[in-house]
Amino acid sequence: MKQFVVIGLGRFGSSVATTLAESGYDVLAIDCDAEKVQSISTQVTHAVEADATDEDALKTLGVRNFDVAVVSIGDNVSANILCTLILKELNLPYVIVKAPDSLHGKVLTKVGADRIVYPERDMGARIAHNLISSNVLDY
Ligand code: ATP
């Protein structure tokens, strides 16, 4: 069974982590904020306080053995990029990263991110498609 590491426990990252864990997957959740770690600790397999831009810390946590990483450090773009770079250098097969905009998305692709997500943009498009495919006369 796939093992997931989720880095950055804002609304997006914590939702990804708890949903995966509820579905029975092993989830390591990482954040540098002790409160975020504490509040998710009963809902995931492991929750650890660490700086995701510290390569040695990520190595010590055994992050290289995971199948998928989800990086969601929204408020700190350089940390988001650095963390993604480290994960790809540790040979993580699949790294998904939340980006604030397409310019940052391009940078993330250059450092090796396998998939970029733009939650607000993607959800907006999805809602619009749902509205179009429903019977518009219902509204
Ligand atoms: P949301 O996901 O809630 O929409 P967001 O993308 O702005 O919002 P934040 O609320 O900023 O995300 O959450 C990002 C998380 O990443 C925070 O919990 C923050 O503590 C964490 N974080 C920031 N820098 C680092 C770092 N270097 N290492 C680990 N975690 C970090």
- Closest ligand 1 atom, CA of 83? 27
Report the pLDDT value the prediction gives residue 113, as an integer from 0 to 100.
98
Q: How far is the CA of 44 from the centre of ligand 1 (A)?
A: 17
Q: How far is the CA of 97 from the centre of ligand 1 (A)?
A: 12
CB atoms within 10 A of CB 12: 17
- Closest ligand 1 atom, CA of 14? 2
Report the pLDDT value the prediction gives residue 136, as an integer from 0 to 100.
59
This model of the complex carries an ipTM of 0.94
Q: What tens-digit pLDDT sequence spans the chain (139 residues)?
A: 999 999 999 999 999 999 999 999 999 999 999 999 999 999 999 999 999 999 999 999 999 999 999 999 987 899 999 999 999 999 999 999 999 999 999 999 999 999 999 999 999 999 999 999 876 555 5
Pocket lined around ligand 1, Cβ cut-off 6 Å: 8-13, 30-33, 36, 51-53, 72-76, 79
The phi, psi pair for 66, rounded to 5°, reads -85, 155
In this prediction the pTM is 0.94
Q: How far apart are CA 73 and CA 68, in angstroms?
A: 16
Nearest CA among 56, 108, 103, 55 for reference residue 80: 108
- Helix (H, G, I), strand (E, B), or coil: what is residue 17? helix
Q: How far is the CA of 131 from the centre of ligand 1 (A)?
A: 31
Q: How far is the CA of 58 from the centre of ligand 1 (A)?
A: 16
